[in-house]
Amino acid sequence: MSDMITIALSKGRLADQALDLLEASGYDCSAAREKSRRLILEDEKAGLRFIMAKPADVPTYVEYGAADIGVVGKDTLLEEGRQLYEVIDLEFGACQMCVCGPVSLKGKLDQIPNKRVASKYPNITRSYFEGTKRESVEIIKLNGSVELAPLIGLAEVIVDIVESGRTLRENGLDVLEVIADISARVIVNRVSMKMKAQSILPMLDALRAQLAKQKEQKCREEAAST
Ligand code: PRP
């Protein structure tokens, strides 16, 4: 008999795309599509249980084994620094983690001493400035609308994700430095990977095969349109 697999999804856009991919890979996800406020959605026949979590908590559920598998952004993984296996780059949810600030600071970031940096990602910010750049900065933790900070004089710059760049543009800000490329990742609990290998490995293979198929199809469509 195959194991029941618990999958932690990040509530929101990533969850829908993860479910689309799982379904295209041959897994029945109708239980998780239910429009309700239930946070645990189980399909005994399909052998799948979904938990709908806040994105920042997905790595926690997976590290402790409350979930076997998770789908979460690389930004959250970098920030949380949990003990788990990161096994597949799903390539959707693509964006960049950047240092952003007023356009007037372009190329001049290193000239400002003792900078204040506002971010929802204090660990990524610390590791970038203190680890990579060997520079000490004051980190101000915010919980959203981080672009406000340089506009209102709370901080000189911010560390945040940039997707389309629209939020920056509409607030007169720009990317000053790129820290990392971000996209959705599949993560697996370290014990589950061994104990439930019989169910988890075929699922990972099916996801990889489906991703390769989608990529191939996209290439073919692009070639046909040129
Ligand atoms: C995220 C991020 C930026 C914005 C980037 O914010 O923190 O503010 O999206 O996207 P863009 O480059 O396409 O404009 P989110 O919408 O998650 O809200 P928040 O600011 O409240 O965190």
For residues 200 and 100, state if they share a domain: no
For residues 19 and 65, state if they share a domain: yes
Per-residue pLDDT, averaged over 193-201, amounts to: 97
So what's the pLDDT on residue 1? 60
CA-nearest of 21, 68, 25, 64 to 49 is 68
Q: Whose CA is nearest to atom 17 of ligand 1?
A: 144
- Going across the sheet that includes 40-43, the strands are 40-43, 48-53, 5-10, 69-73, 184-188, 85-89
Q: Using an 8 Å Cβ cutoff, are 91 and 131 in contact?
A: no
For residues 75 and 125, state if they share a domain: no
Residues with CB under 6 A from ligand 1: 144-147, 160-167
For residues 102 and 148, state if they share a domain: yes
Question: What confidence tier does 12 reach under pLDDT thresholds 50, 70, 90?
Answer: confident
For the cut 90, the answer to whether the pLDDT of residue 25 exceeds it is yes
For residues 110 and 217, state if they share a domain: no
For residues 74 and 117, state if they share a domain: no
Q: Whose CA is nearest to atom 20 of ligand 1?
A: 145
Please tell me the least confidently modeled range out of 21-25, 43-47, 141-145, 169-173. 43-47
Number of domains in the chain: 2
CATH code for the domain in which residue 148 is found: 3.40.190.10
For residues 130 and 171, state if they share a domain: yes
CA-nearest of 65, 76, 66 to 10 is 76
For residues 109 and 66, state if they share a domain: no
Nearest-atom index, ligand 1, CA of 95: 12
Rounded Cα distance between 184 and 166, Å, is 21
Spacing, Cα 197 to ligand 1 middle (Å)? 37
Percent of the chain with pLDDT over 90: 90
Please tell me the least confidently modeled range out of 28-32, 57-61, 198-202, 206-210. 28-32
For residues 191 and 83, state if they share a domain: yes
For residues 82 and 124, state if they share a domain: no
Question: What confidence tier does 75 reach under pLDDT thresholds 50, 70, 90?
Answer: very high
For residues 159 and 193, state if they share a domain: no
So what's the pLDDT on residue 56? 95
For the cut 70, the answer to whether the pLDDT of residue 184 exceeds it is yes
For residues 187 and 86, state if they share a domain: yes
Instruction: Give residue 135's domain range.
Output: 95-181
Q: Using an 8 Å Cβ cutoff, are 115 and 176 in contact?
A: no
pTM exceeding the 0.85 threshold for the entire prediction: yes
For the cut 80, the answer to whether the pLDDT of residue 2 exceeds it is no
Half-sphere exposure of 128 (CA within 13 A, CB side): 22
